[in-house]
Every structure is written in structure tokens, then in C-alpha cells.
Amino acid sequence: MEGTALFNTPLGALIAWTASAFFERRRRLRGSMQRAREDRRSAYPAFLVATAAGETSMDVARGHDNDATASARSGTVLRDSSVLFRRREPSLVADESVLDEVTRTVALLRTYRDVVAQGLLFEAEEVQQARAAFDERRDRLTRVMRESL
């Protein structure tokens, strides 16, 4: 009887320790996943808000801001809106698919900015194409971001 007790006590302790370690690990993983999701929930909107700089470029192209320096100001839109800074935040927490879309969105925003900086009117075909491409890419980015949450 004593031999059974000597065997069962350590075995019970080992089973209890294993179960405890397993559940503790699951709790930590769940907490880590929740923190990552919260980080994505804050980084994604911050980047999308920064891409609203495209709207500033559109205002310049429409002529709402048509003084002599309007075209020059459109060249600083990316820097002033902090879109270049904000694109780094998703790289810390996002999936590869989101990062690819962020890179493509920034590239199209740069293209849009360059077209607007040429001083073309809003009705110009180049402006319309650049704007449509940027809007489409931003919508796709938003969709990919939602799917990753």
C-alpha cells in the first residue's frame, strides 16, 4: 500500500502541474492575441486617417486652394499628414497581406500627389485616374484590415 501511495502522489502532482502549466500557457497566449488585436485596432485607423491627405490633394486639384503656392503645398501633403510616419505602425502589428496593401496605398497616394502637384485641374483625366486608383486601393486596404481583425 505504501508503494502505491509513493507512486500515486508524485504522479498526481505531475498531472496537476502539467494541467496548470497548460492552462497558464493558454491564458498567456489568449492575452497576447487580445493585445495584438487591440494594437491593430489602434494602428489601422490611425493610418487610414493619415491617408486622408489624399483628400487635401483633391482639394488643391479642385481649385479650392488655388493660390500661387497650392501646387507646391500638395508636394508636402504626405509629410504634413504624417502618412509616412503612420505607415510604420501597422508594420509592428499587421499581417503580411495588410503590409503589402499599406505599401501599395502609399505608392498610389504618392502618384496622386505627383499628378496634383503638376497643377492639373480636377477634371483632368490624369487626376481622375490617379484619384480613382488611390480610392480603390484605400478601399481594398480597409477591407483587408477588417478581415485581419
| pLDDT (tens digit per residue) in 34-92 | 888 888 888 888 888 888 777 776 666 666 666 566 666 776 777 777 787 888 888 88
Instruction: List alpha helices for 1-149, DSSP H.
Output: 2-50, 53-62, 70-74, 77-80, 83-86, 88-93, 96-117, 125-148
Residue 41's nearest CA partner among 148, 139, 135 is 148
Q: Are 100 and 54 in contact (CB under 8 A)?
A: no
Q: Cell 504522479 maps to which residue?
A: 11
More confident residue, 103 or 115: 103
pTM of the model: 0.72
